[in-house]
Chain A
Amino acid sequence: SQQGEEDPQALSIQEGENATMNCSYKTSINNLQWYRQNSGRGLVHLILIRSNEREKHSGRLRVTLDTSKKSSSLLITASRAADTASYFCATAYNFGNEKLTFGTGTRLTIIP
């Protein structure tokens, strides 16, 4: 399977702490994206990082990409209760089907 894999599967931290999630993938990518899903709802796009980029920021979010290791990380700083959600990485491969391939997600719980 070319599916990306998030690590850890679940993460619980205290409000105010930083949360880090990782994503690994298998083949050459065009870009990698992170999405958030609140329980049972639609996915919301967070950040897109292209294969020639190494780091990207958006508010309290920081995404890094290491194409040599085929991995990415999502850092959420100063977490809030509202950050409780599942986070998915999605990879757009350079070749093959015109689609995004989603991982199985990291379930993040912020403890107030």
Chain B
Amino acid sequence: EAQVTQNPRYLITVTGKKLTVTCSQNMNHEYMSWYRQDPGLGLRQIYYSMNVEVTDKGDVPEGYKVSRKEKRNFPLILESPSPNQTSLYFCASSLGRRNAKETQYFGPGTRLLVL
């Protein structure tokens, strides 16, 4: 089944404790992206990747890191989480074709609480 998977789905952590949220897609998509969703703010892009080893900042990259060593994986890293990073996080992918202006396929989401 074509899908985007994220792990973990739920995470409670404490301020400053490094964490990684994994994202994987099995559709051979070139483009992958991370979003956070907060009430009243909609989805905001954190980072995106056009292809392996190519990543760039979105609208709200502060406090986050990403890497794209393999086409299928795009982990989101919070080196020192803070309470304002409490949010619902989504990974998404699309075919790419050198741009992201196409249908995006979303993962199920990761709900993060930073105490």
Contact = CB atoms under 8 A, between A and B. Distances in A.
A109 B15 CA distance: 37
Contacts, number: 59
Interface of B: 4, 31, 33, 35, 40-45, 48, 50, 56, 58, 88, 90, 92, 99-109, 111
A43 B107 CA distance: 8
Interface of A: 3, 30-31, 33, 35, 40-45, 48, 88, 90, 92, 97-100, 102-105
Contacts of B44: 102
A40 B101 CA distance: 24
Given A41-B108, A42-B90, A100 B40 contact: no
Contacts of B48: 98-99
Given A98-B50, A99-B58, A103-B42, A42 B104 contact: no
Q: Which 4 A-B pairs have the closest CB atoms?
A: A92-B101, A42-B106, A104-B42, A102-B43
A48 B106 contact: no
B48 to A, nearest CB: 6
18 contacts: A33-B103, A40-B109, A42-B90, A42-B106, A42-B108, A42-B109, A43-B43, A44-B106, A45-B104, A45-B105, A92-B102, A100-B101, A102-B35, A102-B42, A102-B43, A104-B41, A104-B42, A105-B42
B45 A99 contact: yes
A86 to B, nearest CB: 10
A7 B25 CA distance: 33
